[in-house]
Amino acid sequence: MSEKSPNITAAEQYAHTLDKYDLIQGNVYKLLEVAHVNAVYGEPVTQGDQTIIPCAEVLAGVGFGFGGGFGSGTQSEGEGEADTESNTGSGFGGGGGAGGRSFSRPVAVVIASPEGVRVEPVFDITKIALAALTAAGFMVGMIARMRRPSKFGEE
Amino acid sequence: MKTPYFQVKNRTGEPYYASGHKIVPLSKAYILQFPGLHGGIVWNRPVGLAVTASDGQEKILPVHDKTRRIQLALLGMVLAVGLLTVLASSRKSGTS
């Protein structure tokens, strides 16, 4: 039989899509290379006799998914007649998606000079101020609630 | 080989040479891969530096995240005040 089976064609399509899926998977997982040490320490900057190396923490997340399927069917024409002709068809469908996000935040700066090497922390004043205000609000609220006489205290 | 869902990797980078010092960066990466799903989360942070002076003396300089420490201290304060408030209010209701 010289005619190629439509099922094999669909299977081939599916295999081809799976190859693409492997390619996508490989590319997406490249995002997880932020686990490397070079993602955390920046390029050194030299100014005079001092060299500064920035340090940051990196948080990255990726996710992706894929789905697909194929099928085939036969449609008969002229059923019950002698010249019955059957049409065979097949189809394939698939789709996928991927997403990710990464955050980076400076943590410290390394300063190397002829006197020695030291690490200077980086303070994120905005984050600290927001945390302090939130904490103060919670504490004031809790203390006010404690000092307030209970509704059922007189019963 | 099956990849574990959670990994902690200590990494050492290429050394920097500056002002007669050899500085080797050290980092720690926490890698979480979702079971049954494709993808994951990586949290990578600097741990410290292995510094070798020109006279051969070696020391480790830790890199601390002061902003996070302050945030955690504030969170601790809130939790402590909350706990004290709950204890005080339960004692008050117990005596009345």
pLDDT for the residue A3: 45
- Express each pLDDT in A83-130 by its tens digit: 555 677 777 787 777 788 888 899 999 999 988 899 999 999 999 999
pLDDT in tens, chain B (96 residues): 566 788 898 989 899 998 889 999 999 999 888 776 677 888 999 999 999 988 888 999 999 999 999 999 999 999 998 888 888 878 777 665
CA A107 to chain centre: 23
Report the residue of chain A nearest B52, measured CA to CA.
A117
Annotate B33-89 with DSSP letters as a single string.
E-TTSEEEEEEEEEEEEEEE-TTS-EEEEE---HHHHHHHHHHHHHHHHHHHHHHHH
For residue A110, what pLDDT is reported?
93
The closest of A94, A78, A81, A86 to A21, measured between CA atoms, is A94
Provide the pLDDT for residue A154: 47
Report the C-alpha gap between A91 and A87 in whole angstroms.
13
Of A70 and A48, the structure prediction assigns the larger pLDDT to A48
Tell me which residues of chain B, numbers 47 to 86, contact chain A at a CB-CB cutoff of 8 Å.
49, 51, 53, 61-67, 70-71, 74-75, 77-78, 81-82, 85
pLDDT surpassing 70 at residue A152:
no
pTM for the structure as a whole: 0.69
Q: Which of residues 25-44 of B touch A (CB under 8 A)?
A: 25-27, 29, 31, 34, 37-44
Of B12, B38, B44, the CB nearest to A63: B38
